[in-house]
A and B are shown apart, each in its own frame.
Chain A
Amino acid sequence: MTQFVFTFLNGITLAGLYFLVASGLTLIFGLMRVINLAHGAFYLLAGYISWTVVDKTNNWFYGAVVGALSLGIFGTLVYVLLLRKFQYEELRVALITLGVSLVLAQAMLAIFGGEYYQTNIPTPLSFTIPVPGLGLSYPFFRIFVLLLAIAVAIGLWIFITKTRYGAIIRAGVDDTTMVSALGINVQAVFIWIFFLGSLLVGFAGAVGGTTNSFGMGSDGDYLLFSLQVVIIGGLGSIGGVAIGSLLVGVIGQYAVGYFPTFAGIITFTMLILVLAFRPQGILGKKS
């Protein structure tokens, strides 16, 4: 029973992290049809940056802000310098981002080496809360990550569906020419989307680097998680990312806890089952 409850708590808090990681990927794709396969490398880079800042300043929040902002700027640079020209060639853009991830992975290996890192939990949040009925306690910071993910989800949803900027973004994607004719600078809109998407993965790297250790190879792991989440949930849909994160997080944790050898295969079978019935993912639109 204890293991069952704790596995569930681990799964659902991990789902929160997955949501933070994958929401940037799906946001950029959903609005711009650009798939960023350097997403895992972005996550890892943010982890290293915020770890370094926390190490120097001893302030977790500085680390999270610097990690998110620097990735936002870095992602925007990658978009403007390498991707913008080919934005409408989906596969070419995907390949270029894969090249970026290769270069980034090597650069990070050169700077930070092969060891594993983990940022310290900020002292005010470093306590445990009791789990009702079991007489055991659970680290609060993991619950905090889940709350953050829910806040980001609600924020994104309001931003895209309820605000004027969200309306411009949606319109810019549907009909670029018409929106330009209305006097709106669509190029600038795309830059802001890329900034926001990269900012999100940067923030996820800072948070995930605190709950989980990271290092060489984590870029591939988190790219895999993000792909699983968005493929299952449906690429381009924020709600789909939420559902995908929950499925991959919770079922993945039960698989790791109860059948460690076949954990990978179980998550994978789930992915195949979803695609067999809905090739576009659970909430994805048919292209």
Chain B
Amino acid sequence: MRSQIKYAIVIALAIAFPYITPDPDFWVSSGGTRALWLGVAALSMSFLNRNLGLMSLGQLFFSGVSGYIVAISSVMHGVKFGTSVPLAILAGTLSGVVIGWIALKTKGVYFFMLTLAVTLGLYSFANQAQEITRGHTGINSIPSPIIFGMDFAYVKPLYYLFLGISVLLFALCKFVERTSFGIALKGVRDNEDRMVSMGYRIMPLKMIAFVFSAFIASIAGVMGVFYVTNISPDSVGLLRSIDLLVIVVVGGATYLGGAFVGAVLIAVFEAIIQDFTVYYVGATGILFIVVLMLAPQGLMGINAQIRAKRAKSEGASK
């Protein structure tokens, strides 16, 4: 019950945000909408890390696949969003099967490296395949969607659309975790051998979780296209990958809500620090290192970390 009240307060605040923030023209878009987009992308990473113990940098690959498909089909071939968006999300999700088939054979730091290589591979393809992706320039001035006469080029409609998507996907992740499938996943994370001996087939479980996270990442890819209104190789580059990782780690990589906490924090941090230095990415990097060294559980985990430390020192004094 307590957590439901907490969620209700957060959602109420998020709904009221455009009306209570100072300078709404700037903060709704650069703070709110941006944080929701990055939060959904980070959610796909958190889900995988929390339920399978796998830290994946491949999520940007799926976002990139779906984002590029929407951009290419609508700008270069005039396909309507009603067709291109579902297709793009489907393609991004299915690409998860291919990547998962390879990547899920590995674990830990190998998995991390392999998924990083996958994303960097898409980056170099997007740069080289100029006929398809327009190379380094990227695809610009992507139009905004108009749904039931509502034009999402405006700041507030886009914010509320993203808020709706975020709440739905967060709830979906929570729901999946409570199903018997979700519980089996946690079993795989904690002790794979025991799950095997209990008669579970591990690979299909991992694969479904991986493809589900690819589905969320694909949605984030489409959100990115509509928010930024362009897509270029940098949208799937090393810096953007690290950006997402920073969000997940700073928020708390073992908490679903950590994705959004981290996204809000980083969006606000970068929006503010941009006024002071053009090298704000470096500042984010320093923040990232400090969090990793001092609070590896992230902001969401600070309470638990302090509690554990106190319990330890009490145990020592007895």
Residues of A within 8 A of B (CB): 35, 37, 82, 85-86, 90-92, 94-96, 98-103, 105-107, 109-110, 219-221, 223-224, 227-228, 231, 235, 260-265, 267-268, 271-272, 275-276, 279, 287
Contact = CB atoms under 8 A, between A and B. Distances in A.
- Most chain A Cβ neighbours within 10 Å, of B124, B129, B279: B124
Interface in B119-170: 120-121, 123-125, 127-132
A94 B239 contact: no
A37 B285 CA distance: 13
A271 B122 CA distance: 13
B94 interface: no
A90 B108 contact: yes
Interface stretch (B36-44, B81-89, B110-118, B181-189): B110-118
B125 A92 contact: no
A91 B194 CA distance: 24
A261 B131 contact: yes
Contact of A37 (B116, B121, B130): B116
B24 interface: no
B238 A223 contact: yes
A31 B118 CA distance: 26
A98 B245 contact: yes
Contacts of B129: 261-262, 264
A82 B296 CA distance: 14
A262 B110 CA distance: 26
Chain A interface SS verdict (over half): helix
Interface in B237-276: 237-239, 242, 245-246, 249
A35 B106 contact: no
B99 to A, nearest CB: 9
B120 A96 contact: no
B242 A265 contact: no
Interface residues of B, number: 43
A275 B114 contact: yes
A220 B132 contact: no
B284 interface: yes
B124 A264 contact: yes
23 contacts: A35-B109, A35-B113, A90-B108, A92-B292, A94-B109, A95-B245, A96-B289, A98-B242, A102-B242, A103-B286, A105-B239, A107-B279, A107-B282, A110-B282, A220-B120, A221-B124, A224-B117, A227-B116, A260-B128, A261-B130, A264-B129, A275-B106, A276-B102
Given A107-B279, A276-B101, 13 more contacts: A35-B113, A90-B108, A92-B292, A96-B293, A99-B246, A103-B289, A223-B238, A224-B121, A262-B129, A264-B125, A265-B125, A275-B105, A279-B105
B102 A275 contact: yes
A96 B131 CA distance: 37
B279 A99 contact: no
A287 B292 CA distance: 26
A220 B128 CA distance: 15
The 4 residue pairs across chains A and B that have the minimum distance between CB atoms: A106-B282, A102-B285, A220-B238, A264-B125
B117 A271 contact: yes
Contacts of A262: 125, 128-129
A136 to B, nearest CB: 27
Contacts of A99: 242, 246, 285-286, 288-289, 292
A99 B239 CA distance: 10
A99 B108 CA distance: 18
Nearest to A268: B121
B98 to A, nearest CB: 8
Contacts of B114: 231, 275
A102 B124 CA distance: 19
B173 interface: no
